[in-house]
Amino acid sequence: MKPETNRYQSLLATLLTIVMTGPAAAFDLDSDTPIKVTADNARLDDGQGIATYSGAVELEQGGTHLNADRVVLYRTEEGLSRIEATGTPARYRQPTGEGEGETDARALNITWSATDSRLTFEREAVIEQNGNLFRGDVIHYDTAGRVVTAEGGADTGEGNGRVEMVIQPRSTNRQGSDGSSESQ
C-alpha cells in the first residue's frame, strides 16, 4: 500500500472516531433518562409544541450536556423532534463511546433533528476530542448514516475560511498488561 493511501486511511479513521464516537447518539429519545432543562426564562406554547428557553440554558440527559443562550424545543405527537440552540458559542458535550474522554463541540448555532437523524454545528463550528480538532463554518453529522460533511466559510480575516483538522499522533509506546512496553 502506498504511504499516501495509508496516511489518508489513518486520517479518515481518526476523523470518523472524533465525530462518530461523540455526538452520534446526541439526545436519546428511547432512553428512560429524562432530558432536564434549566434556564432563566421559559415560554411553552403547548398548542404549537414549542418550548423556548433563554438565559444561561442548560440541557442535560445522562452525560450529554448542551449549554446555550437560547434553546427552542419542538415536539410532535411522537415526542421531541428538534432542538435549536444559539449562543456565543453554544456548547455540546458528551462522553465518548469508549468512556475515555469527552467530545466537546461548540458553534454559534447547534441543531439536532430527530426526523433527519442529523446534528448540525453552524458558524464558527469546532469539535474537539482527546486533543484532536475538527473546524469548519458548518459541520453536519448524519447519525443514522454515520456521515460527516463540513463546509468552509468566507475568509473573515480571523481564519482562512477553510475546513481544518488537527489529528494527534498515535502514541508510539503503549504499556502492555504485564507492564512491558509495546510498539505500535
Q: Which residues contact 21 (CB under 8 A, 6 or more apart)?
A: 96, 97, 98, 103, 129
Confidence band for 96, pLDDT divided at 50, 70 and 90: confident
pLDDT beyond 90 at 90: yes
Over residues 23-28, mean pLDDT: 56
17 vs 62, more confident: 62
| CA 150 to mean position of chain CA atoms | 13
pLDDT at 110 over 90: yes
Encode 62-127 in three state secondary structure: CCEEEEEEEEEEEEECCEEEEEEEEEEEEEEEEECCCCCCEEEEEEEEEEEECCCCEEEEEEEEEE
For residue 54, name the pLDDT band (cuts at 50, 70, 90).
very high
- How far apart, in whole angstroms, are the C-alpha atoms of residue 15 and residue 146? 12
Distance separating alpha carbons of residues 2 and 17, to the nearest angstrom: 23
Correct CATH for 3-169 of 3.30.1650.10, 2.60.450.10, 3.30.70.20, 3.30.420.40: 2.60.450.10
Which comes out higher in pLDDT, residue 111 or 179?
111
The answer, yes or no, to whether residue 159 has pLDDT greater than 80, is no
CA pair distance 44, 42, nearest whole angstrom: 7
pLDDT, average across residues 101-129: 88
Place 37 in a pLDDT band, splitting at 50, 70 and 90: very high
Please tell me the predicted confidence (pLDDT) of residue 97. Answer: 66
Q: Tell me, yes or no, if the pTM score tops 0.85.
A: no
Query: Is residue 19 very low, low, confident or very high in pLDDT (cuts 50, 70, 90)?
Result: very low
Average pLDDT, the chain: 76
Distance CA 128, CA 121 (A): 13
Q: What are the sequence ranges of the domains in the chain?
A: 3-169
CA dist 83 and 115 (Å) reads 11
The C-alpha atoms of residue 69 and residue 2 are separated, in whole angstroms, by: 48
- d(C-alpha 105, C-alpha 129), whole Å: 9
pLDDT at 114 over 70: yes
